[in-house]
Structure 1
Amino acid sequence: MAIIKHAARQTLGQLIGANNPVVTVPDDSQRQYAWSKKEVDTYWEDIQKFRIARETGKESASEYFIGPIVTITDEHVKSRSLLDGQQRLTTSTILIAVIRDILWRMDSPESRATANNMQRDYIARKAGRREPMEYFLVLSLFDRDFFRDFIQDWNETSGSTRGAEESKRPSHKLIREAYSNFESKISSQLSVFPDEDSRLDWLDSLYECLIKGLVFVEIQTPTSSDANEVFETINSRGKDLSTVDLVRNFLMEKSRDESSKKRVNDTWRVLLDNFEKREEIERFLRHFWVARHGDVKSHSLYATIRGELTEEFSKIPQTYSPKAFAAELESASLRYVDLIHCSTGIEEFDDALADIKALNADALHPLLLAASERNDYTELQELIEACLSYYVRWTVIGTRESTVLEENIFGVAKEFSGGAGCASILRRVCNWIPDNDTFKAAFEEASLPKASQARHILGKIEARLRVQAGVDELTVAGPGKVHVENIYPQQPDAEFRLDEHEVWVHRIGNLTLLNGRKNPNLTNRPYPEKCQTYEDSALLVSTDTGIERLWDSSRGQWSPKGIRARQIELAGIALEVWPDANYWSRPV
């Protein structure tokens, strides 16, 4: 059980004020800045509601409780290490900095003096001309320098920070976005006031709400293990829970020396620098674990990792350490980035990875991650093609249970990590691919309401048609340049609407591709009014697949029989695009 030394009410000003102990986010715990626009908007809305209520003068509206924070506080409360509350304190500091900068730009003696006082009292100050800057909130090593350059190192003469270089780290982008978000919101609010005095009064009211009105409960603990236990308990439900952060904290806790801690932090730097979005890091961590241990759900990932690694790390003698796990994680992350960004440098393999991306077939990544650990990408071409056939035949067209496919793929990923060879895994995947009769029957009845999937399926059929016709190779462009066209319209005039409209409108036989953006005025018209568009298209899927059959000219109506006839022909082409097991010449 965690020891709580003290729990105290603290205003924001008491937490990060100049006369209080500096709040430091320790390097061996906590996460980076993670609030997106959604959380920042909610924070702002709460502050505005509180500000308006506070102006009524009612005692019940004098304070706004914003939640607990957890610190490791020394015996004499001269230093505080922050374990929980970083997001709220960082966001509050960003908002104060925005108020400071707007006051400075108002360019009056009063506004500039107020801006300087805000900086010295609640962001950072120098005790003397030659003294180093003292920062009242010190972030962890992943965000510290950027936060200082962009928010805290403010020049009282120029009214600006030193600035910060652009960074690819998700947390740095979020800090910039939070600043811009607050700046836009405050500027909008100030625009309604007719004079500077009114604007200064409004800014002063907002500032007072933050410094004196925002109230926390600081939970002071004597040790990092106590703080971590409280932190995990508080964050066991809700937004603040992050598997990636909790795993890092756990690895730091289990590291026995500074060398191990440095290795863990170095790995996390690689993760933060190489993934564009925080969600990608979360997905990688799950896929990394799945590739080695089999299926585990996102909600139980941390508990599973903690339980199994605790057992491994506790063995005597210790044969597997946090340092080794971090090294494996880093190595796998570099390969995973290549997989999700289609950047292995092997053209044919990258094309197949692009197909996975277009289909949102993320379930295939753990297998490829496991396979790439001991095999060159060129050795995996047949495997990735078989996986794509399996995914399209089973999930996209067959609309069968995706959980079955995931269980199968995750299972063989674990076998790959356990030492299985590529040939044996390929045979296993081939065994699961639905046969031609099953796939053809499913394709002839399939609908594709998702434009992204429809574009991909039709694009691959287009490529096959061009091979058959012996014409120049053409890659179908993405949305904006090529659009999916419902030949029988999604919104036809009442006189042309089919009785079973929903049955036919998204059937594959009713879909084609056209160059350029969709023209709603044209696409919803009867066939005679738009047939020339199909005839003039550069795409064979529009010119050579019998689209004219969809219109019954004798009745002046759309023809379900024509949709079905065209779809049966497209199904025959699909058999060649996504072949069955026999294509790879392996016994099944």
Structure 2
Amino acid sequence: MAIIKHAARQTLGQLIGANNPPVEVPDDSQRQYAWGKREVDTYWDDIQKFMRARRTGTKASSEYFIGPIVTITDDKITSRSLLDGQQRLTTSTILIAAIRDTLGTMASTEARVMANNIQRDYIARKDGRHSQPQYFLTLSLFDRDFFKDFIQDWNEATGKVAQTELPSRPSHKLVQDAYSLFEGHIASALAPLISDDERIDWLEELRDCLVKGLVFVEVQTPTSSDANEVFETINSRGKDLSTVDLVRNFLMEKSRGDDEKARVNSAWRSLLDGFERREDIEKFLRHFWVAGHGDVRSHSLYTTIRRELTERFDKELPRYEVRTFAAELQNASGRYIELITSGTGLEALDSLLDEFKSLGADAAYPLLLAVSRKYDYSELVRITQALISYYVRWTVVGRRESTLLEEKLFDLAKQVSSGLSLSDALQQIINWTPDDAAFQADFEQAPIPRSTQARYLLTAIERHLRQRDGVDDVVVAGASTVHVEHIYPQAPEADYRLGDHGAWVNRLGNQTLLHGRKNRIASNKAYPEKVEAYASSSFLITQGTGINRLWDADQDAWRTQGIEERQIDLAKIAIEVWPIGARDSGDVVA
């Protein structure tokens, strides 16, 4: 059970005020700044509601409880290490800085004095002109320097911050975005006010709501282990839960000495710098664990990791150290980034990985990660080809249960990590893949409502046709200019609308490819008005697969039998495009 030294009510001004011990986010815990527009706007809306309620003067509306925070404090409480509450305190400091800067731009001397006081009382203070500032909130190493430069290092003479530090992580951009949102909200609120006095009064009221009205409960603990336990308990019940944060805190707790902690920080720095979005780090962490241990659901990932690693870390012989796990995690993250960004440097494999992205085939990444740990990238080509055919035949066209595919691939990843050979893994994928007869029957009836998947399938068939006929494929390469065209329109004119419109509009036999300008011209037109765009198209799939069968000139109406006929023709080609197992020719669909 966690030891709690003290739990006390604290206003924001008491937590980050000049007369209280500074709050510092330790380098061995907590995440980087993570609030986006939704959270920042919600915070602003809550503050505005509180301001309006506070004006009534009732005791019930004098304070606004914003939640608990967890700190590690020394015996004399001369310093406070913040384990939980960083997002709220950081966002509050950003808003206070936006108030300061708004006052700092006003011509009024009173406004400038207020701005200086806000800086000194709630953000940072200096004992002398040339002394180093004391920051009332210091973030962890991932955001510390940028936050100081962009928010905290304010020049009283110029009324500005330096802003010389360039954002280098997604969290830095979120800090910028939060500040811009607050700046815009404040400007909108001040716009109806006529005089500077009214504006200053409003800004003063907003400041007081924040520093005097926002109330926290600070839970003080004596050690990081106690703080972690409190932190996990609080976060297991709320939105702030982050598996990445909890795993890092756990590794820090289990580290034996500063060198192991430094190794964990090095691994986490690679994660934060290597991935563009926090969601990608969460996905990687799960896929990394699945690759070695089999399926685990996202909601139980942390408890599973903690339980299994605790057992391994605490075992005397053979010793498995935190530094070893951190190194494995860091090495795997580099390979994972190359896989999801098609950046392996091997053209044949990267083209196949582009297909994975087009299909959204995330379930295959743990297996590829497991294989890439033991084999060179050149040996991934055949198994990647087989995976694409399996995914297309089973899920995209066959519309079979995707969770079953995921379970099989996750278990196969674990088997590969445990020693299964690549040839045996390939054979398992072949055994799972629907045969040609089943695939052709599925393809003949398949609706493909997702435009990304329809575009992939049609482009793959187009590339196959061009390779078969020896036609230059340059026209397919400009993928950003290529669009999926519904031959029978998605929004047809009333006179031409089929009675069972929904049953036919997304059938693959009703979809083809056109370049952007032709697509805009042909969109939602009856067939006679599409003929020229189709006839002059550079795509073989649009020119020569019987599009004219879809229009009955005598009846002046769309012909559903033609959609079926065209899809049957495409199904015959699809068997060659997505063969069972590896592609004998080594052809890659872009």
Query: Is TM > 0.5 for Structure 1 vs Structure 2?
Result: yes
Give 1:495's aligned residue.
Answer: 495
1:225 corresponds to 2:234 = no
1:269 corresponds to 2:269 = yes
Residue 489 of structure 2 aligns to a residue in which SS? coil
Contact 2:385 2:582 in 1 (8 A): no
Contact 1:486 1:512 in 2 (8 A): yes
1:111 corresponds to 2:114 = no
Contact 1:125 1:135 in 2 (8 A): yes
Provide the rounded CA distance (Å) in 1 between the counterparts of 2:202 and 2:179: 19
Contact 1:26 1:81 in 2 (8 A): yes
Residue 89 of structure 1 aligns to a residue in which SS? helix
Contact 1:483 1:517 in 2 (8 A): no
Give 1:400's aligned residue.
Answer: 400
Give 1:390's aligned residue.
Answer: 390
1:470 corresponds to 2:470 = yes
Give 2:288's aligned residue.
Answer: 288
Cα displacement (A) at 1:128 = 2.1
Residue 335 of structure 1 aligns to a residue in which SS? helix
TM-score by length of 2: 0.97
Provide the rounded CA distance (Å) in 1 between the counterparts of 2:267 and 2:572: 49
Give 2:124's aligned residue.
Answer: 124
Give 1:330's aligned residue.
Answer: 330
Residue 72 of structure 2 aligns to a residue in which SS? strand
Q: How does 1:30-179 map to 2 (within 5 A)?
A: 30-179=30-179
The one-character-per-residue Cα deviations of 1:193-242 (angstroms, maximum 9, x if unpaired) are 22222211111111111011101111111221111111100000221100
Give the aligned residue type for 2:405: L
Give the aligned residue type for 2:341: H
Residue 530 of structure 1 aligns to a residue in which SS? helix
Provide the rounded CA distance (Å) in 1 between the counterparts of 2:84 and 2:329: 25
Provide the rounded CA distance (Å) in 2 between the counterparts of 1:310 and 1:164: 43
Provide the rounded CA distance (Å) in 1 between the counterparts of 2:509 and 2:108: 69
Residue 398 of structure 1 aligns to a residue in which SS? coil
Cα displacement (A) at 1:157 = 1.1
Give 2:428's aligned residue.
Answer: 428
Contact 1:275 1:281 in 2 (8 A): yes
Cα displacement (A) at 1:532 = 1.1
Contact 2:390 2:429 in 1 (8 A): yes
Provide the rounded CA distance (Å) in 1 between the counterparts of 2:517 and 2:180: 32
Contact 1:463 1:473 in 2 (8 A): yes
Contact 2:2 2:229 in 1 (8 A): yes
Give 1:241's aligned residue.
Answer: 241
Contact 1:489 1:525 in 2 (8 A): yes
The one-character-per-residue Cα deviations of 1:65-93 (angstroms, maximum 9, x if unpaired) are 00011111222221111111100000000
With 373-382 and 102-111 compared, the bigger mean Cα shift is at: 102-111
Cα displacement (A) at 1:582 = 8.0
Give 1:5's aligned residue.
Answer: 5
Residue 454 of structure 2 aligns to a residue in which SS? helix
The one-character-per-residue Cα deviations of 1:464-522 (angstroms, maximum 9, x if unpaired) are 11112211023636775221111111122222121221111100000011111686674
Contact 1:482 1:517 in 2 (8 A): no
Residue 304 of structure 2 aligns to a residue in which SS? helix
Provide the rounded CA distance (Å) in 2 between the counterparts of 1:519 and 1:58: 63
1:250 corresponds to 2:250 = yes
Contact 2:126 2:132 in 1 (8 A): yes
Give 2:588's aligned residue.
Answer: none
Residue 233 of structure 2 aligns to a residue in which SS? helix
Cα displacement (A) at 1:95 = 0.5
Give 2:21's aligned residue.
Answer: 21
Cα displacement (A) at 1:28 = 1.0
Q: How does 1:169-568 map to 2 (within 5 A)?
A: 169-317=169-317, 319-474=319-474, 476=476, 481-516=481-516, 522-568=522-568
Give the aligned residue type for 1:284: F
Provide the rounded CA distance (Å) in 1 between the counterparts of 2:581 and 2:16: 65
Provide the rounded CA distance (Å) in 1 between the counterparts of 2:542 and 2:373: 43
Contact 2:385 2:583 in 1 (8 A): no
Provide the rounded CA distance (Å) in 2 between the counterparts of 1:82 and 1:443: 57
Contact 1:104 1:112 in 2 (8 A): yes
Provide the rounded CA distance (Å) in 2 between the counterparts of 1:444 and 1:562: 12
Contact 2:382 2:583 in 1 (8 A): no
Contact 1:349 1:378 in 2 (8 A): yes
Percent of residue pairs identical: 62
User: Root-mean-square deviation (CA), in Å?
Assistant: 1.5
Cα displacement (A) at 1:149 = 1.1
Give the aligned residue type for 1:339: L
Give the aligned residue type for 1:63: E
The one-character-per-residue Cα deviations of 1:357-379 (angstroms, maximum 9, x if unpaired) are 11110111111111111211111
What is the count of residue pairs matched by the alignment? 585
Q: Alpha carbons of 1:478 and 1:207: their partners in 2 closer, same or farther (altered >3 Å)?
A: farther
The one-character-per-residue Cα deviations of 1:420-452 (angstroms, maximum 9, x if unpaired) are 221121111111111100000000000111111
Q: Alpha carbons of 1:424 and 1:262: their partners in 2 closer, same or farther (altered >3 Å)?
A: same
Provide the rounded CA distance (Å) in 2 between the counterparts of 1:196 and 1:484: 56
Residue 513 of structure 2 aligns to a residue in which SS? strand
Give the aligned residue type for 2:555: R
Cα displacement (A) at 1:565 = 0.3
Contact 1:483 1:518 in 2 (8 A): no
Give the aligned residue type for 1:247: V
With 5-14 and 52-61 compared, the bigger mean Cα shift is at: 52-61
Q: Alpha carbons of 1:222 and 1:318: their partners in 2 closer, same or farther (altered >3 Å)?
A: farther
Provide the rounded CA distance (Å) in 2 between the counterparts of 1:378 and 1:495: 56
Give the aligned residue type for 2:7: A
The one-character-per-residue Cα deviations of 1:548-577 (angstroms, maximum 9, x if unpaired) are 110011111100100000001111111111
Provide the rounded CA distance (Å) in 1 between the counterparts of 2:408 and 2:76: 57
Q: Alpha carbons of 1:583 and 1:478: their partners in 2 closer, same or farther (altered >3 Å)?
A: closer
The one-character-per-residue Cα deviations of 1:281-316 (angstroms, maximum 9, x if unpaired) are 000000000000011110110000000000000111
Provide the rounded CA distance (Å) in 2 between the counterparts of 1:240 and 1:313: 27
Give the aligned residue type for 1:552: D
The one-character-per-residue Cα deviations of 1:369-391 (angstroms, maximum 9, x if unpaired) are 11111211111111100000000
Provide the rounded CA distance (Å) in 2 between the counterparts of 1:116 and 1:549: 77
Residue 372 of structure 1 aligns to a residue in which SS? helix
Cα displacement (A) at 1:107 = 2.9
Contact 2:489 2:505 in 1 (8 A): yes
Residue 484 of structure 1 aligns to a residue in which SS? strand
Provide the rounded CA distance (Å) in 1 between the counterparts of 2:321 and 2:471: 58
TM-score by length of 1: 0.97
The one-character-per-residue Cα deviations of 1:33-80 (angstroms, maximum 9, x if unpaired) are 111111111111100111111112222111110001111122222111
Runs of 5+ unmatched residues, structure 2: 586-590
Contact 1:447 1:507 in 2 (8 A): yes
